Homo-oligomer: A and B are copies of this chain.
């Protein structure tokens, strides 16, 4: 319990990185292969594959099977897809809608002990996830103002 690093699961962090990299290529109308994605985001190949499959099933990116295959996002999709959809596809809505103490039903009329403290934070997170598009991340990474590796 010494390394629960932040808001998203590890899988979700990988998913966000992977989607962003596919998005960066999508800005130039290019597809990318699994191998390149995994290398670029420093994530194990087979595990990256699993995560990409989930993104494909969630209709966030598309896959091209067979030789010359790979993964792809259209520029239109890049604009449409928000981070909320990626996070939802991997971690479920719990990460931005769940009760901090784990209650099924936690709301203003039956609030958990942390409800009123955590609510504004959750709201801000949700708002940020909704208002940030995959294109936003992809462009910043494309311009080298932000990074997918350390």
Contact = CB atoms under 8 A, between A and B. Distances in A.
Nearest 5 A-B pairs (CB), nearest first? A5-B98, A5-B94, A6-B98, A103-B150, A113-B146
B102 A6 contact: yes
A115 B150 CA distance: 13
Interface string A71-114: 00000000000010000001110110011111111100011111
A1 interface: yes
A100 B92 CA distance: 16
Contacts of A146: 111-116
B1 A9 contact: yes
A116 B120 CA distance: 18
A11 interface: yes
A56 interface: no
A113 B1 contact: no
A148 B99 contact: no
Contact of A10 (B102, B116, B122, B124): B102
Interface in A115-140: 115-118, 120-122, 124-125, 128, 132, 137, 140
Interface string A1-27: 111111111111100110010000000
